[in-house]
Amino acid sequence: MAGQSNLQLSVFSAAEVEFLAEDEQIDIVPNVRMDTLHMICGDYGPFRPQIPVKVPLWLAIALKKRSKCRIQPPDWMTVEKLTQVLEDEREAPREFQPLPFHYVEISRLLFDHAREDISDPYLVRSLLEDIRDVRFHKVESGLENLSAKTHAVKLKNLAAMEVNIVRPFIVRALQCFYKHDSEELVKQSASEVESQAVSSDRVPRRTLRPR
């Protein structure tokens, strides 16, 4: 159906993950007066010039596009914090550092729409990219541990976009392990062979691949 990503494996498209991230709250400093907005998604405001106020990211970006506010990048999006995260990320090869679940999308949206509100944008961006690389490297080396004995995988602090990227591969891999490891199936195929010997015409048909 139009507008929906592949249901089986991808689950969410990148745009859908971004849509979800746009509901995260962020601080803005408006430069206009506007009364409280009583919206379906909640009440926001009142907006007074130079008084910081919390709004969802989509609202912040909409106001920013009309030059009605300045966006205050979140605390974790500073050179100092990100340097620390990168360092910790490198020092702990087996765990992910806590970052907001939507940090990839939030930082991306802010770079796209509010670049001038970010201090040291170049450094922040390169730190974020380094962090991303280190985290993906961990995911990749973690994949080597997947096996038929894997019933549960714990990925503490893995972020939404990262989940979305690794999901198709991990799910396929685990599905295959599970399928080939399942004793029932092994038995079933054994009995299939036996009955085949008896009457080749009336064997249970092979189960079709699920769509």
Partner 1 sequence: MADENGGDGLFGSAEADYGWTQGSRAAEASSDVEILRRVWRNEKAAPEILPYEILLIQRIREQILLMEDTLSTFAGTSSDELTLSMYRMDIDRTTFLLRAYLRVRLQKIEQFAMHILRTEELWERLSQQEQDYVQRYIDILQKHMEQSVLSKLPFGYQSMLRQAMSSEEDDMIPEPALDTFVFCKSKGSIPSLQLDEKGDETVDLLSDDLYILRYRPIRRLLETDRIELV
Q: Of the ranges 40-48, 86-94, 111-119, 129-137, which one interacts with partner 1 (CB under 8 A)?
A: 40-48
Closest CA to 103 of 120, 91, 86: 86
CB of 119 to partner 1, least distance (A): 28
Is 87 a residue that touches partner 1 (CB under 8 A)? no
Regarding beta strands 69-72 and 25-30, do their DSSP bridges make them parallel or antiparallel, or are they unpaired? antiparallel
Q: 10 Å Cβ neighbour count for 199?
A: 8
Is 208 a residue that touches partner 1 (CB under 8 A)? yes
Cα gap 116→127, rounded to integer Å:
17
Give the per-residue contact string, 150-189, with partner 1 (x = CB under 8 A; - = no).
-xxxxxxxx-x--x---x--xx--xx--xx----------
CB of 122 to partner 1, least distance (A): 31
Cα gap 148→160, rounded to integer Å:
26
Closest CA to 81 of 132, 129, 113, 128: 128
Is 92 a residue that touches partner 1 (CB under 8 A)? no
| Sheet-wide strand order for 53-56 | 53-56, 25-30, 69-72
What residue ranges bind partner 1 (CB under 8 A)?
1, 3-4, 7, 11-12, 16, 19-20, 22-23, 32-43, 58-59, 62-63, 66, 68, 151-158, 160, 163, 167, 170-171, 174-175, 178-179, 201-202, 204-205, 207-208, 210-211
